[in-house]
Amino acid sequence: MTYAVTGSTGQLGRLVIEALKSRTETDRIVALARDTEKAADLGVEARLFDYDKPETLAPALDGVDTLLLISGSDIGQRGRQHAAVIDAAKAAGVAHIVYTSLLNAPDNPIMLAQEHLETEKLLAESGVAHTLLRNGWYTENYLMSVPSAVEHGAMIGSAGDGRISSAARADFAEAAAVVLTDPSLQGEVYELAGDDSYTLADMAEAVSQASGKEIPYVDMPEADYAAALTQAGLPEDMAAFLAHCDAQAAKGALAHEGQALSRLIGRPTTPMPTLVAATVAG
């Protein structure tokens, strides 16, 4: 059995390769990368694979049985890019595709859901056996704001009292490796999220505990939060996107009560306060 992972040089992909290495022989793992030099330190075979260069796709999948398609990072281009990957996988005779989708994709109001749903539909139409890992939010998305919260003495956001069931990238990566290597778990749709949900006020409390400073959570209207992020130096579209995600989180878009992720990885997901403490400790 040979496993290939797209986006292997990204943050999730690197963790998946590591998790796969502890479950199978390294010569059964192929790292697919648009820049193979970036994959040189992964310790497995790297093959050129660029979603925007269709001629690179099918040849790189030669001999691959199971493919992890980690969703691309180019928002707005992913429908086309994922379609090219699925076509190539079919042409190359890949038997099974595992795809990283979005938590509760059919009903998720976050604008990202559309491209994930399109990809899920393409997979269904492809006739290739597949498994959907509908990943919830990475806790790391919020950890990025911890240093500035400590520096400025407040954590800002637009998520109100919305509960966030995030998990560490490493938790999602381990689940992907488990599903890739265990055929009895395949063909399913997994809604994956952290065991414990929290609000941003809870996160501010965790930052206070870890830093020894009083860090309140200051909730803002979506437009004000976007403006604050722009003022802090983020590009306008990124700031608007993050504020949009927070505003949807306020309505419950990132909350989930199932425990499928911890069941797959055979341990509790990493608690948010643990990750906050590690971030504050640097």
Ligand X SMILES: NC(=O)c1ccc[n+]([C@@H]2O[C@H](COP(=O)([O-])OP(=O)(O)OC[C@H]3O[C@@H](n4cnc5c(N)ncnc54)[C@H](OP(=O)(O)O)[C@@H]3O)[C@@H](O)[C@H]2O)c1
Which residue lies nearer to ligand X by CB, 192 or 204?
A: 192
Gap between the Cα atoms of 153 and 126, Å rounded: 51
Which residue lies nearer to ligand X by CB, 13 or 194?
A: 13
How many CA atoms are closer than 13 Å to the CA of 112, on its beta-carbon side?
Answer: 25
Which residue lies nearer to ligand X by CB, 154 or 178?
A: 178
Which residues make beta-bridge pairs with 190?
133
**Cα–Cα nearest to 65, from 154, 145, 151, 1:** 1
Which residue lies nearer to ligand X by CB, 100 or 211?
A: 100
Edge-to-edge order in the sheet of strand 189-192? 45-48, 29-33, 3-5, 66-69, 96-102, 129-135, 189-192
Minimum Å gap between C-beta 274 and ligand X is 18
Minimum Å gap between C-beta 175 and ligand X is 12
Which residue lies nearer to ligand X by CB, 72 or 217?
A: 72
Distances (CA, A) of 212 to 199, 203, 209, 269, 277: 20, 14, 5, 25, 11
Q: Which residue has the tokens 């971030």?
A: 279
Minimum Å gap between C-beta 226 and ligand X is 18
DSSP assignment of 77-104: THHHHHHHHHHHHHHHT--EEEEEEETT
Name the amino acid, one letter, at 48: L
Gap between the Cα atoms of 49 and 57, Å rounded: 5
Which residue lies nearer to ligand X by CB, 10 or 252?
A: 10
Tokens of 243: 């504020």
The residues of the shown chain that bind ligand X, judged by CB under 6 A, are: 7, 9-13, 34-35, 38, 49-52, 70-74, 100, 135, 137-138, 141
Which residue lies nearer to ligand X by CB, 2 or 141?
A: 141
Minimum Å gap between C-beta 148 and ligand X is 19
**Cα–Cα nearest to 100, from 63, 136, 133:** 133
Which residue is closest to ligand X by CB? Answer: 10
**3-class DSSP state for residue 280?**
helix
Minimum Å gap between C-beta 214 and ligand X is 28
Minimum Å gap between C-beta 212 and ligand X is 29
Which residue lies nearer to ligand X by CB, 139 or 208?
A: 139
Minimum Å gap between C-beta 41 and ligand X is 12
Minimum Å gap between C-beta 111 and ligand X is 13
Tally: H helices and E strands in the chain? 12, 9
